[in-house]
Amino acid sequence: MDLKCLDDGSFVAPRAPEQGQRTFGGQFLAHTLRAAQLTVDDDRFVHSTHSYFLRPGDVNTSTELVVERVRDGRSFSTREVTAYQDEVEMFRTVISFHVPEPGLDWSPPKHFDVPGPEAKLTSYNEFWESLSPNLDGPWHGRKRPMEIRYINPPELPEGKPITDPQLMWIRLSEELGQDRRLHETALAYLADATLIDHVLLPHGFRWQDERLDGASLDHSMWFHREPSADEWLLYEQRVESTSGSRGLGSGRFFDQNGGLVATCVQEGLMRWNTKHQ
């Protein structure tokens, strides 16, 4: 999140920590949010983001972030941020900030009767590698600064539909201190993890299937309460719909007391090759 500010007011974000085929979408979500945060007053915090993944990013290339100051009101600010690599637009988002104020506070009571994060659970890295027999060495995603522990990994054989919500414990693997804004960027980074992977589960397939041409298309997120992204959060994910070679997934972050921290939805491309069809 250490962005370099240029003379023209834009920012440069560092390269990805991994060596995959394309930039992890959470990195675009986090970097654009961080750039927007640096252009609003310190009393304003993100409450929603609405984003489009336009092209796959290059993990070996830094990213230029251009922020448009759309509006600054008495209690709300709006920014549009565009991410470029080698002068080509990769990602675009509109982000809204709000000055915290007292008001009515409610969310549905939620209790999950599940093992805690310290139980013996399957890590997402282990799960990914178990479905990727052609990997040459460890999966590149292991270098992402996050920890994910599946509570109910989708382990049924191919062809068996899975429609239950996917549950996992998730957190950033680095301590973030007391900077609320940094925790918000970290939560945006985590939000992209596995969310679109699960749109294939009702059809009995997995995102790692080599017959699939899949990619994130868009992502929206609402921040309800102040997050602590370096502490374990329960991430509940559901598949809302699949049609027209697209799938829509939703996710909700809960703290360990059952409080709803954030909600997100993401749509992805799920196109099969001609031979499989």
Catalytic residues: 192, 216, 266
| Nearest to 247, CA basis, from 217, 273, 275 | 217
